[in-house]
A and B are shown apart, each in its own frame.
Chain A
């Protein structure tokens, strides 16, 4: 009997620790993604201001620097390379939501949707305003970590 009690005690504490770890790593990954999106915004603003590479060049050159975002960015580059129409709907279908909340995901999709669709001044304005929204979300994510 005592043996069963011990097993169930170990299972409960082990399970609890595992779930706690999972939850904590979920928050950490989410925080990392938000952090990378903010860095990506900064880099894109710089690139668009000075060198004006194409969106594909800009993202391809940076893929290695964004480990958490790499798969989403690769999917986005695929859309461009396949000459598909870039729209919110197309992006929602192609880009994985991952640990982002619905709000954060929509904001990220909006960021990808505006890329390349206007002149550099408007691009900078659009990216900056989305970045500011992500800064707030990142602050909340940090507190949740």
Chain B
């Protein structure tokens, strides 16, 4: 679906000069060379594929940037304005475009974004069974409230997506609700998940976690809620609310390890309450999704790779 948003010559390079399966990210900055994350490393994009800065790297201008965003929005900026206000657009195929530009503010509220300066096109990759090892410890017979922790870019979202898929493959029907605040887990496009999140899964997209948890529990009566990137007190309040309702939670948060996690505002309290019963730590050591370990609610290791 990348051909839907990029100019033909760029699509041609990505699809025919490179192995598209290994293209993870395309970074496009106004008046600067295009950078591609190819197989986990960054390269300059040139007409022959990838190379160094002096290998004829392709430079973009603001017009091309605007055209890409306009296409990504299906020529309907009003339909993506809520996403745009949060600096991203989700496109068919689960592709997400992070956007930088100048915020348009009216009455102290963000109205839109203009004068786009750069964007990052993130191409999702489903890695089936990437969460299988941890699944045995967090959800196989009994679902434990679990927190997946890692620094950015280590595969937390891919992991959560795979957990949702694995839950649907179990012998018991466990209704799963994904609160997909930024369209990262299921990447719904026109209401249809673009990535495999299993057949017992409902998805609420584009809403904050507190609203999603409260309304989702009332409306859908899920057995388990999966959500991404717990970051602030409101997110943690949502988790506490869900736990109080007897709904299991599998979520993720940015942190290097448990020490780092405890130091994050609000998390010390939730850890003291032992709300989370399992912690899965991921890293990028041997590529995204490298297991560092699975821990219980007192951070005792229960699985070491």
Contacts and interface: CB of A to CB of B under 8 A. Distances in A.
A56 B74 contact: yes
A86 B75 contact: yes
A54 B74 contact: yes
A119 B111 contact: yes
Nearest to B79: A52
Nearest to A51: B79
A55 B111 contact: no
Contacts of A48: 78
A80 B73 CA distance: 12
Contacts of B174: none
Given A85-B67, A118-B112, A119-B111, A55 B81 contact: no
Nearest to A53: B79
A61 interface: no
A116 B69 CA distance: 12
Given A85-B67, A120-B81, A56 B75 contact: yes
23 contacts: A48-B78, A52-B79, A53-B76, A54-B74, A54-B75, A54-B76, A54-B79, A55-B74, A56-B74, A56-B75, A80-B75, A85-B67, A115-B75, A116-B73, A116-B75, A116-B77, A116-B78, A116-B79, A117-B77, A118-B77, A118-B78, A120-B81, A123-B78
The list of the 10 closest CB pairs from A to B, nearest first, reads A54-B74, A54-B76, A120-B78, A116-B76, A119-B81, A116-B75, A52-B79, A55-B76, A123-B78, A80-B75
Given A54-B76, A56-B74, A120-B78, 16 more contacts: A48-B78, A52-B79, A53-B79, A55-B75, A56-B75, A56-B76, A80-B75, A85-B67, A86-B75, A116-B73, A116-B76, A117-B77, A118-B78, A119-B81, A119-B112, A120-B81
